[in-house]
Amino acid sequence: MKVKFIIISVYCLFASTLLWAQSNDTLMIYGPGGPAAAMKECAGLYTLKYSTPIKIIAGPEGKWINDAYKNADLVFGGAEYMLTQFDKNHPGLIDNATRTELYKRAAGILVRPGNPKNIHSLKDLTLPGVNILEVIGAGQLGMWEDLAGKQNIIGDIQKNIKGAAANTALVIDTWKKDDKFDAIIIFSSWYYRLKDVSSLVTIPSSQTVYRGTPIAITSITKHKQTAAHFIEFLLSEEGHNIFKKWGWE
């Protein structure tokens, strides 16, 4: 019985040590939900190639910032201004010398499946009876206004905005629950995660606007070399192809 107890104790000690080692070897990456699908696929491929575990924690900043202060190796943004704001809110957490722009993504229009309101352009959003949802954060602050300003239809679109939320997740939740809304002005990349509840209306490149996707190594990382290597992977052809699959250019 005593021998059995010793064996179990040794096993538990070994298991806990292994888990501790794994957690300390894992690259911890935080950021908003928009780029999460592309980031997670890149992380999965990187792990297969280099046997380095990576954990992507994505969503509204308030849900993960406390953990990020403890173990973040990298932080990414859904737009350049988002990472700049993050740096202002949390001075010193990211190393700005490592800040890198990845890929841009365009604004687009999500409509109901099959496009029952026959929305084919930004100007169609000004028609009577079109109810628009607006994202007022998460990299999209003022995005519709940038688009509408190019065609001098700011006031016409504003009249049809009937709902808004501070981040994309909240807007999508409203979209799924309330079918009175006909369109969302949003990053076109979201369509690739919402094919079951939407159709995509693209905006011509000469008329759309873009946002970047920045990433930076933190000042608290213990894996700076690995973090830098992961950024190199994101910038590689393999990384770029994954981002293009999810709607980036």
Structure-block tokens of residue 11? 């096993």
Predicted pLDDT of residue 27: 98
Q: What is the pLDDT of residues 59-76, one digit of tens each?
A: 999 999 999 999 999 999
> Which tokens belong to 71?
């173990």
Give the whole-angstrom CA distance, residue 209 versus residue 146: 7
Distance CA 120, CA 231 (A): 37
Asked which of 4-18, 22-36, 95-109, 162-176 is least confident by mean pLDDT, the reply is 4-18
- pLDDT score, position 3: 44
Closest CA to 187 of 85, 30, 35: 35
**Domains assigned to the chain:** 2-103+213-245 (3.40.190.10), 105-210 (3.40.190.10)
Residue 140's pLDDT band (cuts 50, 70, 90): confident
pTM summary value? 0.85
Please tell me the predicted confidence (pLDDT) of residue 2: 45
User: 220, 188, 218: which is closest to 83 by C-alpha?
Assistant: 218
Half-sphere exposure of 43 (CA within 13 A, CB side): 19
Helix (H, G, I), strand (E, B) or coil at 128: coil
- Residue 34 C-alpha from the chain's centroid: 2
The arithmetic mean of pLDDT across residues 196-220, rounded, is: 97
Residue type for position 9: S
